[in-house]
């Protein structure tokens, strides 16, 4: 019960690693606020967590809209009195989400804008909104989610690559610096392929496989717990060694 009494706010909480995190933190005593713009999936995820704890709320919101981010933080504090851990999971590669064809040059520029809005601004909006409460309570942990694509770049998902690079460097470092005087720490976990979708099994790693979502969630929980108290302003690339695979 490492997170007994703690409040964890998770965006992208209706599916994948976000939903799994909600379930796992709840099993260890946390109160959970799940954010997603997919109302139906959000309701289902909240119902699953409610089987573990009564202390769960859902907030249907689009992370691209700052006022909605602020409202979800407000509702979380109203329900539970604090925001102890923020994990902005919501995101994804824009070409896949928008079913945009071709490479960056062939895509309308709106595809790039959408990718930045969801992956970069969405995470930073929630960090900004949650920091208001964390500063007041003089404690907090913000966990950004990067990607191996932030290291490698992508010809068809430029905004995704740029956003994840930013979260893994400028954003996580800046939020750690800003958060220090409020006793708020921040780190980033950057996955390689994770089997939230079967297609991720096609991405090569030195480990010869993609990660199970549980492996990522276990690491995030360790780093977000007291055991991870000395981890701040940095990124863990958790990619099965893909980044150091011999190329060529």
What CA–CA distance (Å, rounded) separates 142 from 175?
A: 8
Q: Which is nearer to ligand NAD, 197 or 229 (CB)?
A: 197
Q: Count the Cβ atoms, other than its own, within 10 Å of residue 231.
A: 16
What CA–CA distance (Å, rounded) separates 77 from 82?
A: 5
Minimum distance, C-beta of residue 108 to ligand NAD, in the bound complex (Å)? 18
Q: Select from 3, 25, 80, 89 the one that contacts ligand NAD (CB under 6 A).
A: 89
Site for ligand NAD in 194-233 (CB under 6 A): 194, 196, 200
Is 114 a binding residue for ligand NAD by CB under 6 A? The answer is no
Contacts of 224 (CB under 8 A, 6+ apart): 85, 87, 141, 143
Minimum distance, C-beta of residue 3 to ligand NAD, in the bound complex (Å)? 20
Is 16 a binding residue for ligand NAD by CB under 6 A? The answer is yes
Site for ligand NAD in 24-83 (CB under 6 A): 36-38, 41, 62-64
Tell whether the torsion through CA atoms of 128, 165, 185 and 236 is positive or negative.
positive
Q: Which of 33, 49, 37, 125 is nearest to 83 (CA)?
A: 33
What CA–CA distance (Å, rounded) separates 193 from 177?
A: 30
Is 100 a binding residue for ligand NAD by CB under 6 A? The answer is no
Minimum distance, C-beta of residue 89 to ligand NAD, in the bound complex (Å)? 4
For ligand NAD, the binding residues (CB under 6 A) are 12, 14-18, 36-38, 41, 62-64, 89-92, 118, 122, 145, 147, 191, 193-194, 196, 200
């Amino acid at each position: 019960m490492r997170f007994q009494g703690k409040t964890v706010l998770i965006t992208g909480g209706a599916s994948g690693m976000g939903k799994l995190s909600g379930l796992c933190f709840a099993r260890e005593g946390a109160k959970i606020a799940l954010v997603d713009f997919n109302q139906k999936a959000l309701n289902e995820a909240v119902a699953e967590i409610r089987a573990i704890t009564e202390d769960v709320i859902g907030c249907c919101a689009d992370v691209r809209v700052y006022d909605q981010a602020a409202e979800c933080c407000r509702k979380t504090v109203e329900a539970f009195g604090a925001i102890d851990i923020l994990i902005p999971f919501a995101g994804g590669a824009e070409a896949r989400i928008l079913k945009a064809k071709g490479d960056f040059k062939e895509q309308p520029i709106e595809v790039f804008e959408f990718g930045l809005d969801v992956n970069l601004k969405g995470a930073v909006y929630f960090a900004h909104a949650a920091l208001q409460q964390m500063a007041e309570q003089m404690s907090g942990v913000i966990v950004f989610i990067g990607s191996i694509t932030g290291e490698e770049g992508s010809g068809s998902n430029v905004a995704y690559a740029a956003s994840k690079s930013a979260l893994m460097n400028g954003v996580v470092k800046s939020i750690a610096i800003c958060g220090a005087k409020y006793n708020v720490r921040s780190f980033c976990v950057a996955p390689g392929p994770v089997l939230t979708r079967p297609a991720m099994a096609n991405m090569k790693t030195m480990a010869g496989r993609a990660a199970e979502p549980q492996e990522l969630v276990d690491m995030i929980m360790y780093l977000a717990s007291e055991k991870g108290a000395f981890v701040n302003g940095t990124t863990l690339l958790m990619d099965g060694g893909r980044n150091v695979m011999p190329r060529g």
